[in-house]
């Protein structure tokens, strides 16, 4: 039994936005952020410096057991045997090497044991490839973040360029492809989504939207009552139309705002939707039907049915239920 709080697991391929999401989520929850990839990176760096072959499981496992790897400053700094290696572990060579050292069961056993120890009391957000499947299969909340390979490569390129690298997009794409292959094809704990993980495609989401959806899921898991009044206030101050409020595997709930004179830009997709009109006035078209809507109206839209709000006279505020959860893989495959 964990005494302090939840274990939040975040898995997914490189460049899916895990570390930004993990760090900000931990900050908002007041949790400790643990970047497990940084641990494999630190070991890879040490192995390369020591001239230890990346194929040698025995030597790498021994090296791992003899290494002190600390994550400090809210997960921002990585200390290897007392040396700050935060920048050194981010090079493309270390990225490639970290993927190679992490295939060895002898290395993983040691890393997983350390990660379990770090998260034993809960109150942690762990980011990696096997957190929800191997490190903490009993994590209270699990996320699987993904994005298209091109988007992930673009993000990595941005990070590397910001760090002063002159690497090309083609080189980053090649690296992402190679690491995706190694990480998903290894025999020991390959990268897969846990069956009970909430899948989030971050391709078209801003970091704020990813964070909001993750917080919505944690809130749902904590059984925190939804304060619609407070959310509506927050929404009024936000420039965005949709604000997710609660999220589970099968459902997402949010507030959707359509200003007077605007048009609903939504296109038919795989989810079933239910709208409850909270405020405003306008019209709603679905198939051949066209009705005027006022507060209190409940509108049910089957999956993939053409529909939209129009002729909006007064700002519409809608409570929306998406099933399966908006942006989930299940919703996508239903398209
Ligand atoms: O998340 P990252 O890119 O910093 O991870 C570097 C490598 O470490 C990644 O290619 C695979 C490996 N890794 C792993 O096998 N298991 C983890 N929990 C985290 C990372």
What is residue 268's predicted lDDT score, i.e. its pLDDT? 64
* Residue 330 pLDDT exceeds 80: no
pLDDT classification of 160: cutoffs 50, 70, 90: confident
> For atom 1 of ligand 1, which residue has the closest CA?
37
pLDDT classification of 270: cutoffs 50, 70, 90: confident
- Indicate if ligand 1 lies below 6 Å from the C-beta of 119: no
State the average pLDDT over residues 147-175: 90
* Residue 269 pLDDT exceeds 80: no
What is residue 334's predicted lDDT score, i.e. its pLDDT? 42
Looking at the chain, the whole-number percentage of residues with pLDDT higher than 70 is 95
* Test site for ligand 1: of 40, 93, 115, 139, most ligand atoms within 8 A of the Cβ: 40
pLDDT classification of 291: cutoffs 50, 70, 90: very high
Q: How far apart are CA 237 and CA 235, in angstroms?
A: 5
- Indicate if ligand 1 lies below 6 Å from the C-beta of 189: no
> For atom 12 of ligand 1, which residue has the closest CA?
99
> For atom 16 of ligand 1, which residue has the closest CA?
129
CB 198 within 8 A of CB 328: yes
What is residue 335's predicted lDDT score, i.e. its pLDDT? 40
> For atom 5 of ligand 1, which residue has the closest CA?
37
CB 247 within 8 A of CB 213: yes
Q: Among 218-222, 226-230, 265-269, 302-306, which stretch is predicted with the lowest mean pLDDT?
A: 265-269
Task: Calculate how far, in angstroms, residue 324's C-alpha sits from the geometric centre of ligand 1.
Answer: 29
Q: Where are the domains of the chain?
A: 7-209, 226-331
What is the Cα Rg of the chain in Å? 22
* Residue 259 pLDDT exceeds 90: yes
- Indicate if ligand 1 lies below 6 Å from the C-beta of 254: no
Bridge-based pairing state of the strands 83-84 and 252-258? unpaired
- Indicate if ligand 1 lies below 6 Å from the C-beta of 14: yes
What's the whole-number average pLDDT of the chain?
91
* Residue 240 pLDDT exceeds 90: no
Does the domain formed by 226-331 have CATH 3.40.640.10? no
Q: How far apart are CA 142 and CA 261, in angstroms?
A: 40
- Indicate if ligand 1 lies below 6 Å from the C-beta of 40: yes
- Indicate if ligand 1 lies below 6 Å from the C-beta of 133: no
Task: Calculate how far, in angstroms, residue 128's C-alpha sits from the geometric centre of ligand 1.
Answer: 6
**CATH class in words for 7-209:** alpha beta
**Which phi and psi (to 5°) does residue 19 adopt?**
-70, -40
> For atom 3 of ligand 1, which residue has the closest CA?
14
- Indicate if ligand 1 lies below 6 Å from the C-beta of 183: yes
pLDDT tens column, 65-114? 999 999 999 888 999 999 999 999 998 899 999 999 999 999 999 999 99
pLDDT classification of 4: cutoffs 50, 70, 90: low
Q: Among 21-35, 159-173, 262-276, which stretch is predicted with the lowest mean pLDDT?
A: 262-276
Coil, helix or strand at residue 135: helix
- The pTM for the full model equals 0.86
* Residue 213 pLDDT exceeds 50: yes
Task: Calculate how far, in angstroms, residue 129's C-alpha sits from the geometric centre of ligand 1.
Answer: 6
* Residue 59 pLDDT exceeds 90: yes
- Residue 119 CB neighbours (<10 A): 24
DSSP 263-331: -------SSEEEEEEEEEEEEEEETTEEEEE-TT-EEEE-TT--EEEEEEEEEEEEEEEEESPTT-HHH
* Ligand 1 closest atom vs CA 14: 3
* Residue 224 pLDDT exceeds 60: yes
DSSP 60-109: HHHHHHT--EEEETTTTEEEETTEE-TTGGGSHHHHHHHHHHTT-HHHHH
280: nearest Cα among 257, 301, 308: 257
CB 89 within 8 A of CB 38: yes
What is residue 3's predicted lDDT score, i.e. its pLDDT? 59
* Ligand 1 closest atom vs CA 99: 10
pLDDT tens column, 36-48? 999 999 999 999 9
- Name 103's Cβ contacts closer than 8 Å, sequence gap at least 6: 182, 186, 187, 188
- Name 134's Cβ contacts closer than 8 Å, sequence gap at least 6: 108, 112, 189
> For atom 10 of ligand 1, which residue has the closest CA?
99
């Amino acid at each position: 039994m964990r005494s302090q709080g939840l274990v939040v697991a975040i898995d997914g391929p490189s460049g899916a936005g895990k570390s930004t999401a993990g760090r900000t989520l931990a900050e908002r929850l007041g949790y400790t952020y643990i970047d497990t990839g940084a641990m494999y990176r630190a070991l890879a760096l040490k192995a390369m410096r020591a001239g230890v072959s990346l194929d040698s499981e025995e030597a790498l496992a021994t090296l791992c057991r003899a290494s002190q790897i600390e994550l400090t400053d809210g997960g921002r700094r990585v200390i290897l045997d007392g040396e700050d290696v935060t920048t050194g572990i981010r090079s493309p060579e270390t990225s490639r090497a970290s993927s190679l050292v992490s295939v060895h069961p002898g290395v993983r056993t040691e890393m997983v044991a350390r990660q379990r120890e770090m998260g034993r009391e809960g109150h942690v957000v762990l980011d990696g490839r096997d957190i929800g499947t191997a490190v903490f299969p009993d994590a209270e909340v699990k996320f699987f973040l993904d994005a298209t390979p091109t988007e992930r490569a673009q993000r990595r390129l941005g990070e590397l360029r910001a760090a002063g690298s002159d690497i090309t997009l083609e080189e980053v794409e090649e690296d992402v492809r190679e690491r995706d292959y190694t990480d998903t094809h290894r025999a020991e704990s390959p990268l897969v989504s846990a069956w009970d993980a909430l899948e989030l495609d971050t391709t078209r989401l801003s970091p704020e939207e990813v964070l909001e959806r993750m917080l919505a899921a944690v809130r749902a898991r904590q059984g925190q009552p939804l304060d619609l009044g407070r959310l509506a206030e927050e929404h009024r101050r936000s420039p965005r139309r949709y604000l997710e409020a609660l999220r589970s595997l099968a459902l997402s709930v949010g507030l959707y705002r359509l200003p007077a004179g605007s048009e609903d830009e939504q296109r038919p997709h795989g989810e079933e939707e239910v709208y409850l009109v909270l405020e405003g006035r306008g019209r709603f078209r679905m198939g051949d039907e066209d009705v005027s809507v006022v507060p209190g109206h409940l509108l049910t839209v089957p999956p993939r049915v053409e529909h939209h709000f129009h002729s909006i006279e007064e700002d519409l505020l809608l409570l929306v239920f998406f099933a399966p959860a908006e942006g989930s893989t299940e919703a996508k495959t239903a398209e």
